[in-house]
Structure 1
Amino acid sequence: MIPLLTAPRKGIACAFGSWLILSPLAAAAESGDSPGLSSSGEPKIVLEEAHPKKEAEEPPRLVAGKGLLLSEVTRTALGIKTVPVIVHNLTPLLSGSAQVYQAAAERARPSSSTRPGVAYATVFIDPKTAEKLKVGNPVHVRRKGQPAPGEPERPGKIFQIDRQLVPVTGQAELLIEFPDPANDFPVGAWIEFTTPLGEDASYPAVPQSALLATPEGNFVYVWDGRFYRRTPIAVAFSSDGLVAFVGDPPAGTPVVSRGAEDLWLLELSLRQGATQGSY
C-alpha cells in the first residue's frame, strides 16, 4: 500500500530559514569592520540597496503553470536529488493485503477442497485484474507489518478466483492458500502478497522514493532545469524498489528521487500562504 503524506519535515524549516541570513554581516566580516561601525569607529547606516539580495538566497516560490522555483540554498537544505526515467524489463505484479479466513489448524470441511496445515486468505480485486490471473499461479506471502527477524517469505498459490459477486460489488474475490504448519496465522491475521500478472515487458520506471502518493493522486516531481513541476503518473505496479507506470513522463526525463515529500509539503505551505494572502 502506498502511504499518504501528512507529517511535516524538519527540512522545510531549514529551507525557509536559510534565506533569512543577512548578507551585511558576512560583508562586514570580510572587510574586517564591525557590523555597525565605520573604519573610523563612527556608527554607519547600511542601506539595503548596498547589498542586493543574491538569487541564491531568494525564498521558494510557486509559479502557476511552471512549478516550484527554489534557490540553491533551499535545494541544498532539502537535499534534492534527481534521476532520469529509465525503461526496465519488468514482470507485472499484483501486490496487496489479504486477510486469513481459515487457519491451518482448522479441520478441513468434507465438502471443501481445503487442506489441513494450510491457511487461506481472501482479498477483493478488480475484475479486469482477475482476468489476468489463473488458479495455481504462485504467490509470495509474508506477515503484514513488521515481520519477525529472519522470517522468510512463504510460497503459496492462488486457490480460487470467485467472480460471482462482480454484478453486485463490482469486484472479484481472490483466495490464496499457503502452508502454515506452526499455525502462525490465525483467523483475522493479515498478510501481504505478490503474484505475477503476466510475462516480462518493458516499462518506464522510477525509484519508489520518487513516487508521491497524495489524496490528489500519484505524482512525481519533474525537473526541467529551473522548476520542479508536480506531474501525475499512471502507476502500473511496483517491483524490486521500482515503480512502473504507463504514459508520461517519457524516458530520460529527470525526476526527483530524494526530497519529493519535502517538495510536496513546501508546495502545500506556499499554496496555503497564497490562499490566505488573497483574503
Structure 2
Amino acid sequence: MKKSIIIILSSLCAILCTSCNESAAKSAEKTPENGAQFKKGEGLSLTDEMKKSIGFTVAEVGEHEIVLSINLDLTATQPNEARGTIPATSAASIKPGMEITIATGNAPVKGTVQSIEKIPFGLPGDLEVTVATSVPLSPGSRLKGSLEIPASGAVPAVPASAVLRTAEGSFVYTVNGSFYVRSPVKTGASNDQFVEINDGLYSGDQIVTTPVMSLWMAELQVLRGGKACTCGH
C-alpha cells in the first residue's frame, strides 16, 4: 500500500513539474506586462505602446565638432590666485595661458591657467592647476572653474543622452532589426550635447537616444525579475 502511494505521489510531482516548466517556457515567449522582451543573441524588444509611453527615440551616429568642457573645483589661495586638482586624462587638454571662467557667487570672473603640475602627496594621476585672476578673490573661498577646449575637427559622436554609464563601463543601445542591443563603447571628448565615440560604433549606425536608463531597467527586470520553479506547489 505504502509503495503504491509513493508511486502515485512521484507521478503527481513529475506532472506538476512538467506543467510548471511548460508554463515558464510559454511565459518567456510572451511579452511581459512591462512591454519589454529579451531574446538571447538578439537583444531587447519593446511594444509600440511602451515606446510611446517612455518617449523612445532613435537616431544615427553622426560626426560633430565637439567643444570639450572641463569643470574643476578651485580654492582661492591668494587674492589673485586659485588652485584645484584635475585627473590626468582631463589635464592633458589644458595648457598654460588658456582662459578659464570662475563662478564666484556674483558675476563670473575670467582667469588664466598659469601651470599644471604633479601633486607630491595627492591621489595617483591627479594634477594641480594654478589659475591667476585680475579680480581679487577671497582667500579660502571655494569656487567652480570651467574651461572650453576648441574642437580639432569632426569626430564620430552620439547625443549625450544616448550614453549609459555604469560601473561596468559605458554602453549605447544599438538597433538590431526590431531589437535593441546594449553595446560597449569607448568614449572621448564630451560636452552637454555630444559624446565622442572612439570605439564600438561607426558613423551611420542607428542607436537609441532616449531613454537608455529605462531600457536598462527593463532589460534587468526581464532578465532577473522572474522566479525559478521549485515544484513546491
* TM above 0.5: yes
Q: Which amino acid aligns with 1:208?
A: A
For residues 105-184 of structure 1, the aligned pairs below 5 Å read 106=78, 116=79, 118-126=80-88, 129-142=90-103, 153-163=108-118, 165=120, 169-181=124-136, 183=137
1:44-84 deviations in Å (ceiling 9; x for gaps): xxxxxxxxxx98x9941122232211111221222201111
Give the stretch that moved more between structures: 265-274 or 163-172.
163-172
Residues 85 and 166 of structure 1, relative CA distance in 2, 3 Å threshold = farther
> Are 2:187 and 1:225 equivalent residues in the alignment?
no
1:225-267 deviations in Å (ceiling 9; x for gaps): 3111111221212135111121221111111122112111212
For the residues of structure 1 that align with 2:66 and 2:188, how far apart are their CA atoms? 11
For the residues of structure 1 that align with 2:113 and 2:107, how far apart are their CA atoms? 19
2:44 equivalent in structure 1:
68
For the residues of structure 2 that align with 1:219 and 1:172, how far apart are their CA atoms? 28
Residues 59 and 170 of structure 1, relative CA distance in 2, 3 Å threshold = closer
TM-score (ref. length: structure 2) = 0.71
Which residue of the other structure, out of 218, 221, 225, is the alignment partner of 1:266? 218
Residues 76, 143 of structure 2: 8 Å contact kept: no
Aligned length: 200
What is the Cα-based RMSD across aligned positions, in Å? 3.2
1:129-175 deviations in Å (ceiling 9; x for gaps): 545432112223346xxxx7xx6654322121113639983332222
For the residues of structure 2 that align with 1:135 and 1:178, how far apart are their CA atoms? 13
Which residue of the other structure, out of 152, 158, 161, is the alignment partner of 1:200? 152
Residues 255 and 199 of structure 1, relative CA distance in 2, 3 Å threshold = closer
Residues 165, 172 of structure 1: 8 Å contact kept: no
Q: Which amino acid aligns with 1:121?
A: R
Structure 2 unpaired stretches of 5+ = 1-29
Shift of 1:120: 0.5
2:23 equivalent in structure 1:
none
Q: Secondary structure at the match of 1:220?
A: strand
1:15-60 deviations in Å (ceiling 9; x for gaps): xxxxxxxxxxxxxxxxxxxxxxxxxxxxxxxxxxxxxxx98x9941
Residues 138, 155 of structure 1: 8 Å contact kept: yes
Q: Which amino acid aligns with 2:208?
A: V
Residues 134, 158 of structure 1: 8 Å contact kept: yes
Residues 165, 171 of structure 1: 8 Å contact kept: no
Residues 173, 183 of structure 2: 8 Å contact kept: yes
For the residues of structure 2 that align with 1:213 and 1:98, how far apart are their CA atoms? 22
Residues 174, 183 of structure 2: 8 Å contact kept: yes
Structure 1 unpaired stretches of 5+ = 1-53, 107-115
Residues 156, 203 of structure 2: 8 Å contact kept: yes
TM-score (ref. length: structure 1) = 0.60
Q: Secondary structure at the match of 1:173?
A: strand
For the residues of structure 1 that align with 2:102 and 2:207, how far apart are their CA atoms? 32
Q: Secondary structure at the match of 1:136?
A: coil
> Are 2:40 and 1:82 equivalent residues in the alignment?
no
1:6 equivalent in structure 2:
none
Percent of residue pairs identical = 24
Residues 66 and 163 of structure 1, relative CA distance in 2, 3 Å threshold = same
Residues 80, 259 of structure 1: 8 Å contact kept: yes
Q: Secondary structure at the match of 2:41?
A: coil
For the residues of structure 2 that align with 1:152 and 1:254, how far apart are their CA atoms? 43
Residues 58, 71 of structure 1: 8 Å contact kept: no
1:191 equivalent in structure 2:
144
